[in-house]
Amino acid sequence: MSTEADATILGTAPREGSKDDLPVGTLVGEYRIEGVIGEGGFGTVYRVIHPIIGKTAAIKVLKRELSSNGEMVSRFIAEARAVNQIRHRNIIDIFAFGVLPDGRHYYVMEFLEGVSLETHLRSHGGRLAVADALAILRPLARALHAAHARGIAHRDIKPENVLLTFGDEGETLPKLLDFGIAKLAGDGASKHRTAPGVQMGTPAYMAPEQVHGKPSDYRADIYTFGAMVFEILTGRLPFDGHSAMDVMIKHVSAPAPHMSQTAQDLPPELDAPVLHMMAKEPDERPSSLLEAIDALVEGAERAGVIPRDRFAKLGSGEASALGAKGPTPSGFSHAPNQNPSFAAAQSARGPSGASAQRSSSFSSGADKVTTTSSSKRSWLLVVAGLVAACLAVFLIATLARTKPQDGAASRGKDESAAPTAAATTAPPSASTPAVAPVVSSAPAIESASAALPSPNIKLTIAATPADADIYLGSKKLGSATEALELPRGTKSVKLIVQRKGYLPKIVEVVPDRDIELKAALQPAPQKDYTF
């Protein structure tokens, strides 16, 4: 909803004579400028630091001439809003917004060190091995699905808008940037909505409905995601041409090519998932990006590729601060140089054809497998120890149950055979130590084992529609009609309830006990997509 603050921001125009550059040491809000990171068509990104607590951040300042453009300021605000509605680890965090004394608008975001996916592709010959690509694509798909569950479509997915960073353990942490033209479903706040017939997005990746300037939703993101997958795996865009118009016409009318025909070393098992994403009609695409990425991963696994969560770190000199990019390619024909590893495999192909090439192109990152196997061995030792301990407890409990019964039977026989001897048996002397009877330990062990909680909790979801699918992250748990289980824990997890034809819904739960909940999905808006 629109607020008075929005109205004030939208109506503020920069004063004449203000300069675009902010000198080092300038205080912007609570942060002090340390230097320029990068500059683009919409504004400048600065590295800043909080002078008291020492927190490093980045500030994006809208260009002076754009700060008087209500539509541009509205998009600037929408980007900050969209990011904060989603709040996903693979989407850059924006946590403050303001206006400079000269009227320019800015927001404060997390400072990231990494490299854009566009630059990373260029430095690797234009394409990535399948396993490395999936390490980037899977978290991006989860982030976009989280956005879609909040009713937000990005509408400009491309390698340039993905920043590659890495966690402390070497895991890949791609960050999705630039929600500047994101569409917030049901947002009545924008005074500058996209008018019918206005094209939004980048021509090389645009969905057919975007080309026509028709209303688009999360299904357009599924199409552009498929186009980006095509580029990452083949090193070429799905469509090229002499002009932007040529490319857009092909997005509307030309069938998407098969990746295995564009790059013959790729397995054909990857073709169908990408073709499904790039269907011309929105209703013919996967119902969600989780469904789409799962199909891609399954195809890769059928081809013998083992997906992983990390890949070789950035090369020397490749990492850079947020916003640093190489020169933007001119034109729309995209035929990057072949990766030497792929070229060598091509020249070495023998009678086996594509299979020989496939084994070569999928072998990158073997050093990571070695590292992972050592950590797996450590975990195996821990698991083995736990299993041994459990067996020991089981044997003690078994002995405790059987020995007292045997002793009782023996005593019964002796007492019936010689009651006089039993009556004359002397009590133990004070010097004889008393031994605790074994029989008392059995109930204690049984009660202790009975007190251990089940490792899983029962999950019951009354969904509307009743046969909605339930996901935990990208893993499908099953249908709402089934008896489901979740690993027991004390940390909250996000469940995704979805069904084709409906907007997905996120439900946050703490799986520390059995859960029963309701989830009613809203029908997805039906639009006329005839061309």
Q: For the segment 323-341, what is each residue's pLDDT rounded down to a tens digit?
A: 333 333 323 333 333 333 3
pLDDT for 64: 86
Where in the sequence numbering do the catalytic residues fall? 156
Q: Residue type for 314, please?
A: L
- The architecture of the domain spanning 113-186+199-323 is Orthogonal Bundle (1.10)
In tens, the pLDDT along 73-93 reads: 888 888 888 888 888 999 999
Higher pLDDT, 208 or 382: 208
Fold type of domain 456-523:
Immunoglobulin-like (2.60.40)
Per-residue pLDDT band for 170 (boundaries 50, 70, 90) equals low
CA distance 314 to 216: 35
CA distance 286 to 281: 11
Higher pLDDT, 363 or 259: 259
Confidence check: pLDDT of 7 > 50: no
In this structure, what token pair is assigned to residue 218?
């999360």
The CA distances from residue 356 to 64, 342, 345, 520, in Å, are 56, 11, 8, 50
pLDDT for 181: 59
Confidence check: pLDDT of 497 > 80: yes
What are the contacts of 69-75 at 24+ separation with CB within 8 A?
A: 70/10, 70/191, 70/192, 71/192, 72/42, 73/9, 73/10, 73/105, 74/10, 74/190, 74/191, 74/192, 75/180, 75/181, 75/192
Closest by alpha carbon to 268, among 244, 297, 299, 295? 299
What are the backbone dihedrals phi and psi of residue 252, each rounded to the nearest 5 degrees, phi first?
Answer: -80, -40
Fold type of domain 4-110:
Phosphorylase Kinase; domain 1 (3.30.200)
Higher pLDDT, 394 or 31: 31
Confidence check: pLDDT of 113 > 90: no
- What are the boundaries of each domain within the chain? 4-110, 113-186+199-323, 456-523
pLDDT for 392: 64
Mean pLDDT on 124-148: 94
Residues of the chain above pLDDT 70, percent? 62
CA distance 330 to 318: 22
The number of helices, as runs of H, and strands, as runs of E, in the chain is 15, 21
Measured in residues, the chain has a length of 531
Confidence check: pLDDT of 343 > 50: no
Higher pLDDT, 319 or 230: 230
Per-residue pLDDT band for 66 (boundaries 50, 70, 90) equals confident
Task: Name 180's Cβ contacts closer than 8 Å, sequence gap at least 6.
Answer: 42, 75, 76, 78, 79, 156
Mean pLDDT on 229-237: 97
Please say whether the beta carbons of 228 and 157 come within 8 A. Answer: yes
What are the backbone dihedrals phi and psi of residue 423, each rounded to the nearest 5 degrees, phi first?
Answer: -70, -30
Q: What is the DSSP letter of 91?
A: B
Confidence check: pLDDT of 526 > 70: no
Mean pLDDT: which of 81-85, 89-93, 382-386, 488-492 is highest? 89-93
CA distance 525 to 531: 18
Please say whether the beta carbons of 260 and 267 come within 8 A. Answer: yes
pLDDT for 475: 78
CA distance 499 to 467: 8
pLDDT for 264: 93
pLDDT for 524: 73
Confidence check: pLDDT of 255 > 90: yes
Confidence check: pLDDT of 137 > 90: yes
The residues with which 501 forms a beta bridge, in sequence order, are: none
Per-residue pLDDT band for 53 (boundaries 50, 70, 90) equals very high
Per-residue pLDDT band for 444 (boundaries 50, 70, 90) equals very low
